[in-house]
Amino acid sequence: MNDTVKVERPAPASASTEQTPYSAWLQTDVLHSLQHPVSDHPGEHAWITSAQVSELYWMLIIKEIQFAQAQLRANDLTQAIRTLQRVVAHHEPLNATWRSIAWMTPTDLLSILSRVGPTYGKDTALQGWTYRHMVYLLGIKQAEHLQHFTPQPKRWDQLNKALAEPSLYDDVLSYLDRNGFGVPAAVLDRDFSVPYEPGKAVEKVWRDIYADQNGNLELQQLGETLADIAEGFSTWKYLHLMATRRTFGGRPAYFGTEGVAWLVPTMDEIPFPELWSARGFIGDPPAACPHMHK
């Protein structure tokens, strides 16, 4: 090899002579220009940064779920599981963002919100279009939330489309039906914009998948990965609830409703419902188990 010969690669069209390749690739100048505090509170920058990081992770999870849906539709279960395992991993740093603002007291938060409201108007992160799109993909379909996006026609169209299309769970059930598990036609061919109604037939499908501990191993791995995703999502909601309790207490928050009262019922909105209810029927209890007979 002639060491004097060097191959010069053309610079990407988007590269700037005033940026390093790292900064050009990750758009760091743009990224660090996106925080615009409106109060004098020194912690507002942490609040904005934490929320923006959450937005990025929600979009990442959206893209991963959509990728997994395409893989399930192509009957590529192995790759779909790998993709969904990344969703599990993404929830770890997403949930950790709450630590960045755990120092906030009611005085801290109100000092910031007292300036945000007059500047931008009253709203809540749970009405952000990124979060709502992710929730729809996880199968929690609530059409009433679309009303908050009428000022954003493009996002309203995007969310309305996500509301009407199959969720991740719908694609999982379709995959199971195509591969020999009897999912009722009424479950597969329904109005996907309507909240999902759990049923005993789908519960039995999951029970059958787990019935043989050494059989259906890949499907059991799918089930456990979905359970991890649901757990990560529910953990984020719990951390949000506790942060609201710490910083807001019983004050009216979201559109006049007490913040805690508005959030508590959402804790019961757990994705993939029969995957959880079937746990009460999977496995054989020990003979001496006091819960064996009711």
- DSSP symbol at 40: S
The alpha carbons of the chain give a radius of gyration, in whole angstroms, of 23
What is the pTM assigned to this prediction?
Answer: 0.89
Based on the number of CB atoms within 10 Å of its own CB, is 179 exposed (0-12), middle (13-18) or buried (19 or more)? exposed
Whose tokens are 């959880």? That residue is: 276
In this predicted structure, the answer to whether residue 201 has a pLDDT above a threshold of 50 is yes
In this predicted structure, the answer to whether residue 184 has a pLDDT above a threshold of 90 is yes
pLDDT digits (tens, 9 = 90+) for 90-120: 999 999 999 999 999 999 999 998 898 888 8
In this predicted structure, the answer to whether residue 5 has a pLDDT above a threshold of 50 is no
- Reading the block at residue 68, the tokens are 């997994």
pLDDT of residue 259: 79
What's the mean pLDDT in 1-16? 47
30: part of which helix (H) or strand (E)? Answer: helix 28-31
In this predicted structure, the answer to whether residue 223 has a pLDDT above a threshold of 80 is yes
pLDDT of residue 254: 62
Based on the number of CB atoms within 10 Å of its own CB, is 94 exposed (0-12), middle (13-18) or buried (19 or more)? buried
pLDDT of residue 208: 95
More confident residue, 227 or 12: 227
Which three-class secondary structure state does DSSP give residue 252? strand
> To 5 degrees, how large is the angle CA 129–CA 96–CA 274?
65
Contacts for 208 with CB less than 8 Å, ≥ 6 apart? 181
What's the mean pLDDT in 119-132? 80
What's the chain's average pLDDT?
89
Listed by start position, the domains of the chain span 44-101+124-249+258-272
Beta bridge partners of 252: 258
Q: Residues of the chain with pLDDT > 70: what percent?
A: 88
Q: Residues of the chain with pLDDT > 90: what percent?
A: 72
Class at the top of the CATH hierarchy for domain 44-101+124-249+258-272 = mainly alpha
In this predicted structure, the answer to whether residue 12 has a pLDDT above a threshold of 60 is no
pLDDT of residue 2: 40
In this predicted structure, the answer to whether residue 16 has a pLDDT above a threshold of 70 is no
CA torsion sign for 110, 113, 117, 122 is negative
pLDDT of residue 28: 95
pLDDT of residue 119: 86
Residue 138 to residue 149: CA distance in whole angstroms: 19
